[in-house]
Every structure is written in structure tokens, then in C-alpha cells.
Amino acid sequence: MRNIFLWILFYTVILASSQVLLKLGANQIGAISLKEARDIFPVGLSLIKNPLIMGGIILMASSFFLWLYILSWFKLGLVFPLTAMTYVFVALLSFFLLGEKLSFINYFGIAFIATGIYLLLYQ
């Protein structure tokens, strides 16, 4: 079981980190507006030029290949629920790196998810 946990932990940290990089990049770019079809190219170009967004895309692609590796070794019914750790890491990284506030209900949700993950691993 420990091996499953370590692989999923690695996967979820990478996936959560990709989300934080995408958010930081989106903050730099500002609100994206696609009013007409011709707006797609300039917006796409500004996204590609942003190193934070590109870093997020690279991490997300890496997590995809890592996920395929995990699926080749473990049961989907076990590993997929464990990916809920991503929600925990995104909330914590948002708090520490983005300065986002967490309410009591957020902390309760994080604890609830962590309890569920524990129960799945040690059934």
C-alpha cells in the first residue's frame, strides 16, 4: 500500500503545482476575453508566451504520463479516489503561495478528504 500512496502523492503534488502555476500566469495576463473568433490567436499567443502558464502546461502533461504509469500498475478503483489529495494540495498551496483565505468549512473539507484517503488506504 505504501507504494501506491507515494506514487499518488507524487502525482497529486505535480497536478496541484500545475494549477498554481496556471493561476499565477492567468493573474499576470488578466481577464481573458474571447468576443470574436479572431480573438483566439492573440489570446493563445499571450498564453504561450507566459512562462508560468507554459510551466503549468508542462507539469500537467507530466502528470498525465505519470497517471498512465500509475494506472498500468494499480487498480483504478483504488487509485482514482486517492487523487482527491489534489484538492487538499491545491487548497494549501493557494493559501501559502497565493494568499487565498480558507474558511472553517474549507478546513473541515480538507480534514474530511484526508480522513477518506486514510480509510481507503488502511481498510
Which residues does 28 contact at the CB level (< 8 Å), separation at least 6?
Answer: 50, 52
C-alpha span between 43 and 47 (Å, rounded): 6
Residue 2: pLDDT band (50, 70, 90) is low
Predicted structure pTM score: 0.84
pLDDT value of residue 67: 96
CA 66 to chain CA centroid, nearest Å: 13
- In order of 32, 38, 84, the CA distances from 88 in angstroms are 27, 38, 7
pLDDT value of residue 47: 82
Percent of the chain with pLDDT over 90: 63
Mean pLDDT calculated for residue range 73-86: 89
57 grid coordinates: 502546461
pLDDT value of residue 123: 64
DSSP E strand stretches across the chain = none
pLDDT value of residue 1: 57
pLDDT value of residue 4: 82
Mean pLDDT calculated for residue range 42-66: 91
